[in-house]
Amino acid sequence: MTPLILSIVGKSDSGKTTLIEKLLPEIIKRGYKVATIKHHSHDDFQIDVEGKDSWRHAKAGSSTVIISSPTKLAVIKKTEEDKSLNEIRARYCDGIDLVLTEGYKRERHPKIEIFRKAVHKELLCKDDDALVAIVSDKKFDRNVPQFGLDDIKEIVDFIEEKFLKVSPHEDEVSLRVNGIEMPLKPFIREIFKETISGLLKPLKGTKNAKLVSLEIKFKGK
């Protein structure tokens, strides 16, 4: 199952990191596995310490530095462009139920904006139809759920009901091209499902199929 990407957005000093810190324990307590992604606007941020072996490897020219221990694995990889959330999810988020991002306001994934009236005057996502909820100490004239800054349980209730709980009658259909998941509109998902189901019916051993994977490699492309 491809994990949902939910972006926590807001202007500077709105409290994005603090909100994620509060949401994580409540989501994890309910049995979900969560990955977090932080978007950094600077070109050359550092996550390893100057002078340490991994830093020295990178400075010496290694394009990928991998640090491994019995309890942790970290990969530091040079890139030539800012990777999209879909690319990061496809490569690094296997086995995850929910990806919480801090930032990525320009991507089209669902967004929850945190807003503090003492810091800013207007919403960051005031014209963004990907905005699904607002967390604030102020009420806005927007037709989305709105929560107080400390309504952590209620916010997680909303996330769980809207995005994490799958109806037992709802089929999941996904498409990946070159490892990247493609967004599918509901009618396209239905076409794929009905077409594949029809092709499987005459085949032996497919009567009780619960998971179907189809991979096509195009030669000469």
Q: What is the pLDDT of residues 69-110, one digit of tens each?
A: 888 877 877 777 878 888 888 888 888 889 999 888 888 889
Residue 32: CB atoms within 10 Å = 17
User: What type of residue is 105?
Assistant: K
Give the angle subtended at the CA of 47 by the CAs of 41 and 48, to the nearest 5°. 150
Q: Where in the chain is the domain with CATH 3.40.50.300?
A: 4-164
Half-sphere exposure of 126 (CA within 13 A, CB side): 10
The arrangement of strands across the sheet holding 131-136 comes to: 34-38, 98-102, 4-9, 111-115, 131-136, 146-147
In this prediction, residue 16 has a pLDDT band, given cuts at 50, 70 and 90, of very high
Position 123 pLDDT exceeds 60: yes
Mean pLDDT along residues 51-67: 75
Position 166 pLDDT exceeds 70: no
CATH of domain 4-164: 3.40.50.300
